[in-house]
């Protein structure tokens, strides 16, 4: 609608209904957490974006090894999250390969998901590029490879990037901005995980954080305490952008719906249903590390004033050109929240596109049309990638890696990610972060 390709909302939905993806799953997924994370993350993200459907082959009805679906069977999890298990591929859709499966000659782009250490992404299946070993030192790596695959497939259908399907694309969560296909001897096995976190905002970013958190290999999730802060209801639009939202949740408070999802997986939760602002003050018995994923400069200004030892904030771009952009800031750092968000960003409004013609929306006045045109574009694969960097920031600091204060980039060009190292290092080392970490099994 924003680019003019769709002449109406109905036309936009018709275009999206032609987006679909075929997923081929190798035998490794029956016994590998990494492969199950990659498959289920791709299915969950694609279901919300590819309205034509998701078809999956090769899934066995074995045990679900990672608690990110409401079932204990892997095949049932694939179906619960929105895919159809089939015997024959759809020749009109691009192909995602996970595990030791061969490409099928469908005439459409094919991507091989691959990961190693803290790195993950996709390779064009038809190019002779050696894949990684598909062994993660950090469980986030297979998840971000799924996010990258969804992004590349979306670009192919949208027709807005000529290299989609023809290029390698991926990221390093240990050394953002470095070549993700190059072996990094400095990567460490994750042995410490966060045990107490304050989550500010439970929209598309907040739910992506929690999806990734649930995928981490906790020995006992009952040891993990999460403060969930949001004041809003689950809306119908959240189903297309947010990883934990399902239609039956629409109309519920986000805090309570997400709390139920987490407690079903044995996490302990505390609900805070006030808006975040200068009136929020952490006490000494509450989590000292906060993760923020709100699209609200008024809230972001006060992130340094609530008494947290560490704040990690993520934001997304908006508009038809920048909706693939993401950024991360940490505090304390050389940046100051009040300066970064010293004024409200005005989102550009272009009401000249045919989809925003008054004749298409007779029920809306000029103000209503402006509000419709200014709606942010949100897609789950961008939220997942941003969330991957956020969760990696905590894990990297806990497990002896470097601390960053800025990560900024775009899914359209993952080879060009801006990074700034932090001069402050709270929670950098595991032994100094006992208040927010727990050993994995």
Residue 203 sits in the same domain as residue 62:
no
Residue 322 sits in the same domain as residue 429:
yes
The mean pLDDT value for 417-435 works out to 64
Say if 428 falls within a structural domain.
yes
Say if 2 falls within a structural domain.
no
Q: How confident is the model at residue 277 (pLDDT cuts 50, 70, 90)?
A: very high
Closest CA to 36 of 59, 12, 8: 59
Say if 182 falls within a structural domain.
no
Residue 303 sits in the same domain as residue 373:
yes
Residue 141 sits in the same domain as residue 287:
no
What is the reported pLDDT for 440? 45
Residue 167 sits in the same domain as residue 308:
no
What is the reported pLDDT for 439? 45
Residue 293 sits in the same domain as residue 430:
yes
396: left (phi over 0), alpha (psi -120 to 50) or beta: alpha
Q: Between 405 and 130, whose confidence is greater?
A: 405
Q: How confident is the model at residue 108 (pLDDT cuts 50, 70, 90)?
A: confident
Helix/strand/coil (H/E/C) assignment for every residue in the chain = CCCCCCCCHHHHHHHHCCCEEEEEECHHHHCCHHHHHHHHHHHHHHHCCCCCEEEEECCCCCECCCCCCCCCEHHHHHHHCCCEECCCCCCCCCEEEECCCCCCCCCCCEEEEEEEECEEEEEECCCCCCCCCCEECCCHHHHHHHHHHHHHHHHHHHCCCCCCCCCCEEEECCCCCCCCCCCCCCCCCCCEEECEEEEECCCHHHHHHHHHHHHCCECCHHHCEEEEECCCECCHHHHHCCCCCCHHHCCCEHHHHHHHHHHCCCCEEEEECCCCCCCCCCCCCCCCEEEECCCCHHHHCCCCCCCCCEEEEEEECCCCCCCCEEEEEEECCCCCHHHHCCCCCCCCCCCCCHHHCHHHCCCCCHHHHHHHHCCCCCCHHHHHHHHHHHHHHHHHHHCCCCCEEEEEEECCCCCCCEEEECCCCCCCCHHHCHHHEEEEC
Averaged pLDDT of the chain: 89
Percent of the chain residues topping a pLDDT of 90: 72
Instruction: Kindly tell me if the per-residue pLDDT of 127 is higher than 80.
Output: no
Residue 96 sits in the same domain as residue 218:
no
Q: How confident is the model at residue 429 (pLDDT cuts 50, 70, 90)?
A: very low
Which of residues 118, 138, 172 is at a domain's end? 172
What is the reported pLDDT for 224? 97
Do residues 185 and 433 make contact, with C-beta atoms less than 8 angstroms apart?
no
Percent of the chain residues topping a pLDDT of 70: 87
2-42 pLDDT per residue, tens: 777 888 888 888 888 888 999 999 999 999 999 999 999 99
311-366 pLDDT per residue, tens: 999 999 877 678 899 999 999 999 999 999 997 655 555 556 665 556 655 665 55
Residue 298 sits in the same domain as residue 384:
yes
Say if 178 falls within a structural domain.
no
Domains of the chain: total:
2
Residue 314 sits in the same domain as residue 251:
yes
Which of residues 172, 206, 224 is at a domain's end? 172
How is residue 175 written in tokens?
Answer: 């050394």
Closest CA to 245 of 389, 388, 82, 385: 82
What is the reported pLDDT for 26? 96
Q: Between 215 and 378, whose confidence is greater?
A: 215
Say if 123 falls within a structural domain.
yes
What is the reported pLDDT for 354? 67
- Environment class of 70 (CB within 10 Å of its CB; exposed 0-12, middle 13-18, buried 19+): middle
Catalytic annotation present for 367 = yes
Which of residues 144, 172, 200 is at a domain's end? 172
* pTM of the entire predicted model: 0.91
386-415 pLDDT per residue, tens: 999 999 999 999 999 999 999 999 999 999
Say if 186 falls within a structural domain.
no
Residue 136 sits in the same domain as residue 204:
no
The mean pLDDT value for 282-309 works out to 95
Selecting among 138, 367, 413, 437, the annotated active-site residue is: 367
Residue 272 sits in the same domain as residue 219:
yes
Q: Between 430 and 135, whose confidence is greater?
A: 135
Instruction: Kindly tell me if the per-residue pLDDT of 228 is higher than 90.
Output: yes
61-86 pLDDT per residue, tens: 899 999 999 999 999 999 999 999 99
Say if 13 falls within a structural domain.
yes
Residue 114 sits in the same domain as residue 205:
no
**CATH code of the domain covering residue 25:** 3.40.50.720
Instruction: Kindly tell me if the per-residue pLDDT of 297 is higher than 50.
Output: yes
Domain, as residue range, for 73: 9-172
What is the reported pLDDT for 160? 78
Say if 65 falls within a structural domain.
yes
How is residue 98 written in tokens?
Answer: 């996970």
What is the reported pLDDT for 350? 57
d(CA 78, CA 65): 13
């Amino acid at each position: 609608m924003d680019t003019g390709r769709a002449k109406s909302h109905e036309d936009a939905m018709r275009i999206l209904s032609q987006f679909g993806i075929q997923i081929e799953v190798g035998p490794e997924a029956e016994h590998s957490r990494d492969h199950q994370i990659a498959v289920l993350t791709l299915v969950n993200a694609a279901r919300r974006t590819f309205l034509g459907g998701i078809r999956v082959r090769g899934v066995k009805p074995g045990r679900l090894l990672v608690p990110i679906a409401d079932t204990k069977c892997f095949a049932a999890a694939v179906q619960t999250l929105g895919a159809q298990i089939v015997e024959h591929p759809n020749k009109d859709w691009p192909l995602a390969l996970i595990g030791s499966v061969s490409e099928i000659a469908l005439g459409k782009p094919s991507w091989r998901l691959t990961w190693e250490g803290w790195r993950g992404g996709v390779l064009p299946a038809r190019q002779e590029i050696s894949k990684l070993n598909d062994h993660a030192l950090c469980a986030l790596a297979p998840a971000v490879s799924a996010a990258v695959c969804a992004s590349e497939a979306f670009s192919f259908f949208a027709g807005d990037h000529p290299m989609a399907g023809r290029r390698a694309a991926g990221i390093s969560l240990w050394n953002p901005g470095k070549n993700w296909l190059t072996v990094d001897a400095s990567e460490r096995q994750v042995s410490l995980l966060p045990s107490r976190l304050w989550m500010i905002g439970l929209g598309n970013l907040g739910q992506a954080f929690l999806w990734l958190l649930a995928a981490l290999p906790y020995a006992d999730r009952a040891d993990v305490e999460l403060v969930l802060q949001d004041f809003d209801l689950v809306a119908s639009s959240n189903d297309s952008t947010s990883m934990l939202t399902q239609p039956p949740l629409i109309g519920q408070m986000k805090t309570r719906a997400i709390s139920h999802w987490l407690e079903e997986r044995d996490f302990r939760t505390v609900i805070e249903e006030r808006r975040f602002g200068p009136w929020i003050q952490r006490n000494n018995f509450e989590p000292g590390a906060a993760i923020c994923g709100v699209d609200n400069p008024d809230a972001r200004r006060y992130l340094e004033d609530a008494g947290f030892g560490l704040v990690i904030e993520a934001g997304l771009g908006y508009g038809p050109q920048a909706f693939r952009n993401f950024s991360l800031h940490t505090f304390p750092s050389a940046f100051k929240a009040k300066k970064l968000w010293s004024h409200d960003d005005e989102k550009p409004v272009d009401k000249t596109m045919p989809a925003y013609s008054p004749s298409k929306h007779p029920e809306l006045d000029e103000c209503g049309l402006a509000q419709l045109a200014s709606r942010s574009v949100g897609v789950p694969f961008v939220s997942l990638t941003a969330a991957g960097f956020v969760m990696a920031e905590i894990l990297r600091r806990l497990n002896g890696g470097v601390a960053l204060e800025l990560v900024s980039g775009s899914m359209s060009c993952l080879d060009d990610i801006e990074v700034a190292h932090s001069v402050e290092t709270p929670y950098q080392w595991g032994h100094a972060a006992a208040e927010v970490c727990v050993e994995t099994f």
